[in-house]
A and B are shown apart, each in its own frame.
With several copies, the nearest count.
Chain A
Amino acid sequence: PAALAQANPVPAEGGDPNILNLPSYSKGLGQPVASEGGYGKPSQYEANVQRRPSPGLTQTTQASVSFAPLQSLFGIVTPSGLHFERHHQGWWDMDPAKHRLMLNGSDEKMLKRPMVFTMDEIMRLPSVSRFHFIECGANTGMEWGNVAVPTAQYTHGMLSCSEFTGVPLKILLDMAGADYKRGRYLLAEGADGSSMTRTIPMELVESGEVLVAYGQNGEMLRPQQGYPLRLVVPGVQGVSWVKYLRRIEVGDQPYATKDEAVHYIDLLPGGQHRQYSSTQECKSVVTTPSGGQVLLDKGYYQISGLAWSGRGKVKRVDVSVDGGRNWRTARLQEPVMSKCLTRFTLDWAWDGKPALVQSRAMDETGYVQPSYGQLRAVRGTRSIYHNNAIQTWLVQESGEVKNVQLS
């Protein structure tokens, strides 16, 4: 169904019929407990809030993306049913009792002993639970050259945030007796058809941040997110968070796998590609208001959005409603966590005139999110990955909000 009219007029009949005539649910008996088979679903009125592919973006549906509906989400937790998807060879629902994790070395001396773990064993080891964002390196990739898609879902929706639970990979490597001196690179490998592989720096493992995770938002990972096991690599692009994780190899060289030698490489002006670019730099986006929405009234609005950094905590977010000439500092919603989404908000009274709404995040390293001009001056316009430029939404006089880029 299309949008409803926003109206709360002083009623003609001396009262709003929705108040004066009691609805059926005020006068009847409702549904029983556990009536959805012991696992509840959203309201029927929320059917518009879906993850969606972008038409024409990919040629197949199994090597494809569905985008999280950022424009409709609150706070920082992404409901697991709306978590963005990126598959290279489709998703599977694997029997966890048969799943195994192997640790081996690129050569015989890299590990004291190669090891095999069952899920039972992994879930018995010491675990931690941490909130982190995951962003695909290609998020906002369609927008490098110019505006390509209309809403925050499509511009920024390869982004989600969850509470992950798992075992620090360091614990497993210690058990296997890894040679941390020689073994400065890890290969993570999945059990699906693509057997996705990515090179991971040992530094992140040693920091205790990299998790062999089975839990997401309190329950097990969803099949689309790698059930029963995925690598969690906070701050690093999603492709490295290998799903259906079956193997970790400790090595002394990077692996130049398909998704780090043909894709997820950044084309620079001059024709060189940056390889092994992995960190997701500081970025933000306003989700309310955002492209494809219509503001129906002048007056008060709360500008709201998300900020994040692959290098640590978000320190500050500034918001402009005049296309970047003047900025005000937004409120950051606690808790502000490292390598995690941070929700920001700011009061705004819309005067009904065109407005260019932007947000600009800064992280604890002092790094400031760049404008398109600043980013393109270094990286050109033909990359696909790691576009963290400031997003601009144009609120038109009609109230309609459009995705625009400024010169």
Chain B
Amino acid sequence: QPAGYPGIGREATPKEVAAWNIDVRPDFLGLPKGSGTVSRGQDVWESHCAACHGVFGESNEVFSPLIGGVTAEDVKTGHVARLNDKGFPGRTTFMKVSTVSTIWDYVNRAMPWNAPKSLSTDEVYSVVDYLLNLSGIVPDDFVLSDATMAQAQQRMPNRNGMTTDHGLWPGKGMGNGGKPDVKAVACMKDCAGEPKVASFLPDHARNNNGNLAEQQRLVGPQYGVDTTQPPG
């Protein structure tokens, strides 16, 4: 028994830890033994995933598209070029994610959305294999397993796309120690140039969030504007 609080809490059994300790890290610690193929992955996908995400992971019906926006060149460089393309619509999962463990871990814990943790380990390997294949990361015959996942990692399109060189990690292990990136000064008088309004909601959008008159208290220093009516 731990000192201080006798009788409170107990040692977890190995079975219990195994039941809940499901996370998989970028270094693959936690990854269970198993394997899957692209074609089995396609079966899993079509029966358990496609309804929400689209046959090719392209759908935005229930969430942003998983697939799209990455190129063979990205697989080489480890940088998704289109992240720099302001014209490209949306940013898919595979444009952003740098670690294949992330996808495996997440599908294993949380997908299918309405029946999480219902897939077998090999089904998870398979469907992740399918997604990697759809993204052009692995070939059609690639067998994804605990032994081969490191190879897939070497080809993740955005694997070099992350930085922790910033001030927003409140610890020492990563980041720059908390140094902010923006240094504003609290000027008090005659500060900026003449202010110009550069962005505002167009009049035709004023009712987009519903009638704002119904979203303010009925009494108070001011009321909500009736956005079912034109301004003025």
Contact = CB atoms under 8 A, between A and B. Distances in A.
A147 B199 CA distance: 6
Given A104-B12, A292-B227, A406-B197, 8 more contacts: A15-B16, A26-B117, A46-B217, A117-B9, A257-B106, A261-B96, A325-B194, A368-B186
Most B-side CB within 10 Å, residue of A19, A54, A204: A19
B218 A28 contact: no
Contact of A22 (B117, B178, B201): B117
Contacts of A203: 170-172
A296 B232 CA distance: 12
B102 A261 contact: yes
A364 interface: no
Contacts of A356: 195, 197
A128 interface: no
A121 B9 contact: yes
B15 to A, nearest CB: 4
A276 B2 CA distance: 33
Given A4-B219, A324-B191, A370-B182, A125 B63 contact: no
Given A3-B226, A326-B188, A277 B23 contact: no
B20 to A, nearest CB: 5
Interface residues of A, number: 162
B48 interface: no
B26 interface: yes
Interface of B: 2, 4-17, 19-23, 25-27, 29-30, 60-63, 79-81, 83-84, 86, 91, 93, 96-99, 101-103, 105-106, 109-110, 113-118, 158, 161-175, 178, 180-192, 194-201, 206, 208-227, 231-232
A316 interface: yes
In the A-B complex, the 7 residue pairs with the closest CB atoms: A201-B171, A323-B195, A3-B223, A407-B198, A277-B168, A271-B83, A292-B212
A106 B25 CA distance: 9
A333 interface: no
A179 B220 CA distance: 29
A262 B93 contact: yes
A375 B216 contact: no
A280 B65 CA distance: 28
A181 interface: no
B23 A72 contact: no
Contacts of A45: 218-219
B220 A120 contact: yes
Contact of B106 (A14, A113, A258, A324): A258
25 contacts: A3-B213, A3-B216, A8-B9, A20-B15, A50-B215, A55-B209, A97-B219, A113-B12, A120-B220, A151-B212, A174-B4, A185-B171, A195-B116, A197-B109, A203-B171, A235-B170, A246-B20, A265-B162, A273-B83, A278-B168, A293-B216, A300-B4, A318-B188, A326-B188, A377-B182
